Amino acid sequence: MTAANLSAIYGAVELVAIALFILGLRFLSSPGSARMGNRLAAIGMLIALASFLIQTQAVAWWVITVGIVIGGVIGLVSALKVKMTAMPQMVALFNGAGGATALLIGTIEYYANSGAPFGAVIAVSLVLSAIIGGLSAAGSVIAFLKLQEVMTGRPVTYPGQQIVNSVVALTILACGVWFVASSGQMPPVVFLGMLAATLVLGVFFVLPIGGADMPVVISLLNSFTGVAVAITGFELNHTLLIIAGALVGASGTLLTVLMGRAMNRPLTNVLFGAFGSGGGSEPAGGSGGQQNVRSASADDVAMMLAYAQRVIIVPGYGLAVAQAQHAVKALADQLEKRGIEVRYAIHPVAGRMPGHMNVLLAEANVPYPQLLDMEDVNPEFPTTDVALVIGANDVTNPAARNVTSSPIYGMPILDVDKAQNVVVLKRSMRSGFAGIENPLYEMPNTVMLFGDAKASVDALVAAVKTV
């Protein structure tokens, strides 16, 4: 068979892979077929990679094998071991791995060319994909560290930060222009220095963004990696990378905008607003200022719940970290046994990512029809006897409705305060992820039940049983 025929066959195989990616994404957009969608995309990936592996004709086979085995084991084990609550940061790390790959591809290409000048398209795409990939990789690691609470989730800001960032960005830009202008004939020291600077910029880029905005940032970095992969496609002249990268870049951007819209946070605010930095100086005064709260015992709350007719549970990230989803389901079962109507109010960004809470509750076998979206549940609160807020804070903060000076002003919230009674389960009076006080806690129809979410819910289950 001629070489031309062979490459036509490889092209056709990649076309199948691309069709499977697109079908997979389409199926992933509706709940019934989502699982099938993921598998179709995975099969597409398998086909595409098989085609590429055959095309290498076993050159460097041991390098490729060693890499795939190491990466496969690490990827599979961490994906299977990770707790469902830590999923967002796991996705961030996987995304960072992809970004780093794009960066390393550019690096290898630079060295593999051993001094020959690059064409303009390759020079531009090499340097761009390496820079964007590096930004995404370093940014993802910081996002991971913030969500894992290895480092503070609060925005890290200092005077002159924007200036420092601009200087680093301009330096990278200058090096990039140099690289292209010299057709890649740049001293290795400068090339490596430029890559190091992109990693630094990735770190600086995510540092000032607060934990509450991290889901949007991860989604944005995900689309960054997509863009880097598409540009890598130009660098290596492979349409499969261009198409798959562009698909992810575009859908990732749309997803980022959808998430930002759910939080009423324009993307520019997320990136440059240092969300919660106003609250950063507040906690000292904040925790002292909010003392006008009533706390209750588990028995009091159990009594209130047991004699209610309609209860809405509002789960938040506190529930997720405490792994309380199964305990919550047990509580709901107890209440339903008494003929009480129990439903769940899911804020679009409950947990740390849209849909995160649905996944956690699904894990605890909560029936799907009991999960209500914000628009559906808000009219229900005035006729609800007890709203049980478990580890949710900012998404219930009535300040978002009327306090124009509040950093979360305008964010759509759950109208928990309109319920007859509000019970808030909370670890302490510490302010929420966005670092803002919540006037809900001081309202006359609110009582607080302090403690770890899981311990509190377990206590409630036991107490309801004895009522």
Residues with a known catalytic role: 394
> Of 214-222, 300-308, 380-388, 398-406, which segment contacts another protein by CB under 8 A?
214-222
Residue 204 three-state SS:
helix
367 binding another protein? (CB under 8 A) = yes
Number of H helices, E strands in the chain: 19, 6
Contact in structure between 427 and 298 (CB atoms under 8 Å)? no
79 binding another protein? (CB under 8 A) = yes
355 binding another protein? (CB under 8 A) = yes
- From the CB of 229, what's the least distance to another protein, in Å? 5
41 binding another protein? (CB under 8 A) = yes
User: How many whole angstroms separate alpha carbon 446 and alpha carbon 423?
Assistant: 6
Which residue in the block uniquely carries the two structure tokens 């206590």? 459
Candidates 203, 246, 296, 303; binder of another protein (CB under 8 A) is 246
The CA-atom distances, in angstroms, between 313 and each of 255, 421, 449 are: 27, 12, 14
294 binding another protein? (CB under 8 A) = no
User: How many whole angstroms separate alpha carbon 54 and alpha carbon 69?
Assistant: 17
> Of 86-94, 187-195, 290-298, 300-308, which segment contacts another protein by CB under 8 A?
86-94
Candidates 7, 29, 162, 297; binder of another protein (CB under 8 A) is 29
Candidates 142, 180, 217, 218; binder of another protein (CB under 8 A) is 218
Contact in structure between 107 and 194 (CB atoms under 8 Å)? no
> Of 3-11, 93-101, 286-294, 335-343, which segment contacts another protein by CB under 8 A?
93-101
Q: Mind giving me the DSSP string for 46-114?
A: HHHHHHHHHHTTTTTHHHHHHHHHHHHHHHHHHHHHS-GGGHHHHHHHHHHHHHHHHHHHHHHHHHHTT
Candidates 85, 222, 334, 431; binder of another protein (CB under 8 A) is 222
- From the CB of 368, what's the least distance to another protein, in Å? 6
User: How many whole angstroms separate alpha carbon 206 and alpha carbon 221?
Assistant: 10
- From the CB of 426, what's the least distance to another protein, in Å? 24
Contact in structure between 416 and 422 (CB atoms under 8 Å)? yes
Pick the closer one to another protein by CB: 169 or 262: 262
Pick the closer one to another protein by CB: 233 or 432: 233
Candidates 155, 249, 315, 391; binder of another protein (CB under 8 A) is 249
Candidates 1, 112, 150, 189; binder of another protein (CB under 8 A) is 112
Candidates 127, 200, 201, 244; binder of another protein (CB under 8 A) is 244
Considering only residues 369 through 428, tell me which ones interact with another protein, judged by CB under 8 A.
Answer: 373
Helix-strand-coil split of the chain, %, nearest 5: 65, 5, 25
- From the CB of 386, what's the least distance to another protein, in Å? 25
**Beta bridge mates, 19:** none
Pick the closer one to another protein by CB: 111 or 307: 111
341, burial (CB in 10 Å: exposed 0-12, middle 13-18, buried 19+) = middle
Sheet of strand 371-373: strand arrangement: 371-373, 341-346, 310-315, 386-390, 421-426, 446-450
Considering only residues 143 through 182, tell me which ones interact with another protein, judged by CB under 8 A.
Answer: none
189 binding another protein? (CB under 8 A) = no
- From the CB of 179, what's the least distance to another protein, in Å? 17
Considering only residues 254 through 293, tell me which ones interact with another protein, judged by CB under 8 A.
Answer: 254-255, 258-259, 262
**Burial readout 182-195 (b: 16 or more C-beta within 10 A, e: otherwise):** eebebeeeebeebb
Q: Per-residue x/- marks for another protein, 327-346, CB under 8 A?
A: -------------------x
How many residues in the shown chain lie near another protein by CB under 8 A?
A: 114
